[in-house]
């Protein structure tokens, strides 16, 4: 246990009002620099982007839909880490998805898809590693750095941990089930204490095609796979996002398109090595990247389970204590997880040169747990361990064969243990001063006052279901942020206490049953998603971090574009209990919840983004003077590339020519007086 001194600090900026403008708005006294845009070349040999749909070679350019991101300080020269350097570093960021319309001159061609268009779309996914440097106060990315790298859905990967070599990972590409190709739909991140980056595979299932009749074929091969595929949303009749399997490749031996067809071929070998029936089991993992070594092979860390991984952030790293890594599974009614290493933390590993070997040490052996929240404000971490708590071949939910089966089918194991179904767990973040873990629960349209069919009824940890005009749909429309305090404040704990830090809501909504946190015009928000704590190293005596909350919203965007807020976090248990009544869709239910944002706890809007964007991805230099943020999919609602619905980031500089295509981009925010951002 660690002694905590909470030193009061204040948020030293004026809250930004609601905005529907096509710019990033920040408080007065702050500046926005656009740093790294969709299509920007990461190689001196690649031309600057034309941004008119004609650009190619995205394996050497910034991808689309910038998402989770970490800054790693570099030494003044060379390629070694220096975690104290705030003027030269590597920015590592995810490219979660694409806005297909803007990638092609006249929008996408219908199926069968042209090979050139599909290659572009595939390469716009993945991860960027890009060197950034500050010179004379100005940030820029270093276009010709030898450390720059694009990781795409085609980059070779290695499997690591208990599932490595499993029969379920064997494909025509990887007959022994130890390797794979690429990563896709990478959402939030993880910044490891040993200078590696975790990228997390979220909505990967959507890319897979599965033909009608596959369930019948599979039932003769491995009937359990039908249960598994359905639980992860890969049902028969799916064509797969963007129709990549319809491409006829110019190289007939290429499998980079047909690999996305998970349909089993009845006439071929039944061990999975003759086709790509097992390709879906190669996705849904946490992937570790060593950004300082551009030639390193990323490792898929299977001990951390398989799900719609939103992000994976560590708890406090304390010498001699087994560290924990917290994860959300972002889909309606899914779970919150943590992985606890088998090995206590050794501080010298923070500066090891074989960084992926350190990852092997802490991320391949340990215990995966799923969270259960109780009505009395306590909770348990339930171990997902083969042979414990009924996770065996006789389980009534699903017969588990071994630990690899438990990990590949993490969701089924969570079902079997009766974990608490949550309102779409997105990012996790740990308060470095207290060790308390926060998780955004973005919204849930299937949360109803009373359970019915596939709808889940309200409970104490997910207590709201309501209508938020002008919508007529029912559910937890605006989301909330839950937090938990581990027993004895240790990452090794198997029990915790919890409350809800804040409930999203418009300030005009019912304060008794909806706007439970008393939000006002300076801080009302909806659909929290990105979440991060900053604790600048150079603020003397500061022991209270700033918590940052980012939104990905569709319910409040009639009033304001998506935003980022700053907060001074309190402690679990600040606010006491509240009775909440949900009356919607002809049903009514009352539950008692626990509310955490005590009166006086500060929460202020720091930034509002441009039109139709999501604000996601945040990290800062170690000195806190530069904060990096990603603006994802501005103008995503357009129906023609000739009529963009946002012109950002060009519009940030006042260039409002209406035909300029928007671009997902990384920005950096600095304070004009050179000080630490926000405080
Ligand atoms: Fe990629 Fe759940 O957001
Ligand atoms: Ca997200
Ligand atoms: Ca989201
Ligand atoms: Ca609304």
Measured in Å, residue 571 CA sits from the centre of ligand 4 at 30
Category of 420 on φ-ψ map: left (φ > 0), alpha (ψ -120 to 50) or beta: beta
Question: Per residue in 357-370, is it b (16+ CB within 10 Å) or e — as a string?
Answer: ebbebbbbebbbbb
β-partners of residue 515 are none
Q: Over 70: is that where the pLDDT of 539 sits?
A: no
Ligand nearest to the CA of 332: 1
Category of 318 on φ-ψ map: left (φ > 0), alpha (ψ -120 to 50) or beta: beta
Measured in Å, residue 254 CA sits from the centre of ligand 1 at 31
Instruction: Name the residue at shortest CA distance from atom 1 of ligand 1.
Output: 187
| Residue 330 beta carbon below 6 angstroms from any ligand 1 atom | yes
| Residue 310 beta carbon below 6 angstroms from any ligand 1 atom | yes
Residue with tokens 């022991």: 543
ipTM of this complex? 0.92
DSSP H helical segments within 105-152, as ranges?
115-123
| Residue 615 beta carbon below 6 angstroms from any ligand 1 atom | no
Q: How far apart are the first and last CA of the chain?
A: 28
Q: What is the pLDDT of residues 431-482, one digit of tens each?
A: 998 999 999 999 999 999 999 999 999 999 999 999 988 888 899 999 999 9
Residue 624's nearest CA partner among 574, 670, 571 is: 670
CA gap 86, 258 in Å, rounded: 44
Q: Which residues surround ligand 2, an ion (CB under 5 A)?
A: 426, 529
Atom of ligand 1 nearest to the CA of 188: 1
Average pLDDT over the chain, rounded to an integer: 95
Give the single-character DSSP code of 16. P
CA gap 209, 182 in Å, rounded: 17
Beta strands in 47-155 (DSSP E): 66-73, 88-95, 126-135, 138-141, 149-151
φ/ψ of residue 420, rounded to 5: -85, 125
Q: What is the pLDDT of residues 204-224, one digit of tens each?
A: 999 999 999 999 999 988 899
Q: Which long-range contacts (CB under 8 A, 24 or more apart) does 382-390 make?
A: 382/417, 382/418, 382/419, 383/494, 384/305, 384/410, 384/413, 384/414, 384/417, 389/416, 389/417, 390/416, 390/417
Q: What is the pLDDT of residues 235-246, one digit of tens each?
A: 999 999 999 999
Q: Which residues surround ligand 4, an ion (CB under 5 A)?
A: 468
Q: Over 80: is that where the pLDDT of 5 sits?
A: no
Atom of ligand 1 nearest to the CA of 185: 1
Provide the 10 A C-beta neighbour count for residue 302.
25
What pLDDT score does 6 carry? 47
Q: Which residues surround ligand 3, an ion (CB under 5 A)?
A: 529, 552
Distance from CA of residue 147 to its chain's centroid? 24
CA gap 656, 253 in Å, rounded: 46
What pLDDT score does 207 carry? 98
Atom of ligand 1 nearest to the CA of 96: 1
Measured in Å, residue 426 CA sits from the centre of ligand 3 at 7
Read off the pLDDT of each residue in 104-133 and give the average, rounded to a whole number.
98
Residue with tokens 């065996």: 392
| Residue 290 beta carbon below 6 angstroms from any ligand 1 atom | no
Cβ atoms of 305 and 421 within 8 Å: the answer is no
The dihedral formed by the CA atoms of 374, 378, 383 and 384, expressed in degrees to the nearest 10: 40
Whole-Å CA distances, 129 to 80, 142, 220, 356:
14, 11, 44, 16
Ligand nearest to the CA of 309: 1
Distinct helix (H) and strand (E) counts, the chain: 6, 36
| Residue 553 beta carbon below 6 angstroms from any ligand 1 atom | no
CA gap 516, 592 in Å, rounded: 12
CA gap 228, 249 in Å, rounded: 30
Atom of ligand 1 nearest to the CA of 330: 2
| Residue 96 beta carbon below 6 angstroms from any ligand 1 atom | yes
| Residue 187 beta carbon below 6 angstroms from any ligand 1 atom | yes
Confidence grade of residue 541 (pLDDT, cut at 50, 70, 90)? low
């Amino acid at each position: 246990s660690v002694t905590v001194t909470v030193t009061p600090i204040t948020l030293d900026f004026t809250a930004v009002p609601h905005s529907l403008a096509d710019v990033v708005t920040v408080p007065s006294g702050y500046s926005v620099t656009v740093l790294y845009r969709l299509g920007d070349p990461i190689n001196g040999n690649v031309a600057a982007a034309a941004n008119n749909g004609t650009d190619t070679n995205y394996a050497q350019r910034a991808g689309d839909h910038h998402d989770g991101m970490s800054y790693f300080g570099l030494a003044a020269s060379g390629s070694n880490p220096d975690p104290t350097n705030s003027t030269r570093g590597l920015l590592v960021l995810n490219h979660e998805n694409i806005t297909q319309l803007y990638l092609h001159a006249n929008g996408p061609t219908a199926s069968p898809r042209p090979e050139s268009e599909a290659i572009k779309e595939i390469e716009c996914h993945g991860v960027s590693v890009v060197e950034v440097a500050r010179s004379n106060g100005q940030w820029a990315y270093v276009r010709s750095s030898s450390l720059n790298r694009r990781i795409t859905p085609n980059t070779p990967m290695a499997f690591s941990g208990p599932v490595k070599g499993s029969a379920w990972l064997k494909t025509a590409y990887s007959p022994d089930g130890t390797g794979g190709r690429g990563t896709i739909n990478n959402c939030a991140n993880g910044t490891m204490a040993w200078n590696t980056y975790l990228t997390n595979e979220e909505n990967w299932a959507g890319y897979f095609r599965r033909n009608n009749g596959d369930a019948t074929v599979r039932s003769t091969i491995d009937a359990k796979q039908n249960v598994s595929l359905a639980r992860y949303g890969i049902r028969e009749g799916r064509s797969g996002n963007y129709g990549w399997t319809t491409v006829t490749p110019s190289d007939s031996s290429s499998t980079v398109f047909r690999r996305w067809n998970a349909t089993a071929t009845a006439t071929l070998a039944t061990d999975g090595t003759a086709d790509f029936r097992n390709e879906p089991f190669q996705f849904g993992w946490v992937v570790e990247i060593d950004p300082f070594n551009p030639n390193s092979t990323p490792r898929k860390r299977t001990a951390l389970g398989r799900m719609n991984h939103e992000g994976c952030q560590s708890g406090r790293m304390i010498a001699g204590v087994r560290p924990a890594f917290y994860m959300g599974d972002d889909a309606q009614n899914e779970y919150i997880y943590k992985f606890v290493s088998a090995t206590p933390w050794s501080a010298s590993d923070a500066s090891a040169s074989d960084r992926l070997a350190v990852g092997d040490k802490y991320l391949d052996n340990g215990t995966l747990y799923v969270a259960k929240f109780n009505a009395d404000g306590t909770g348990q971490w339930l171990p997902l361990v083969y042979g414990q708590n009924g996770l065996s071949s006789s389980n009534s939910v699903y017969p588990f064969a071994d630990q690899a089966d438990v990990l590949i089918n993490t969701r089924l194991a969570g079902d079997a243990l009766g974990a608490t179904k949550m309102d779409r767990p997105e990012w996790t973040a740990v308060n470095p001063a207290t060790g308390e873990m926060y998780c955004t629960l973005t919204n849930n349209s299937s949360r109803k006052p009373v359970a019915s069919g596939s709808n889940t009824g309200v409970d104490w940890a997910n207590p709201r279901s309501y209508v938020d005009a002008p919508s007529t749909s029912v559910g937890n429309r605006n989301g909330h942020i839950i937090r938990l305090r581990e027993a004895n404040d240790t990452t090794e704990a198997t029990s915790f206490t919890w409350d809800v830090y804040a409930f999203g809501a418009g300030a005009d909504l019912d304060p008794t049953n909806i706007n439970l946190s008393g939000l006002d015009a300076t801080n009302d928000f909806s659909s929290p998603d990105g979440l991060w704590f900053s604790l600048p190293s150079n603020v003397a005596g500061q022991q209270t971090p700033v918590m940052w909350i980012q939104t990905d919203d569709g319910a409040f965007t009639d009033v304001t574009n998506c935003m980022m807020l700053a907060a001074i976090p309190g402690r679990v248990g600040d606010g006491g209990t509240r009775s909440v009544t949900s009356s919607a869709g002809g049903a009514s239910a009352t539950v008692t919840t626990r509310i955490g944002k005590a009166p006086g706890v500060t929460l202020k809007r720091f930034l509002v983004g441009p039109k139709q964007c999501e604000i996601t991805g945040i990290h800062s230099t170690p000195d806190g003077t530069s904060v990096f943020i990603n603006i994802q999919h501005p103008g995503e609602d357009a129906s023609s590339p000739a009529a963009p619905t946002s012109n950002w980031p060009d519009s940030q500089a006042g260039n409002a020519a209406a035909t300029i295509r928007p671009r997902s981009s990384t920005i950096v925010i600095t304070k004009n007086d050179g000080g630490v951002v926000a405080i």
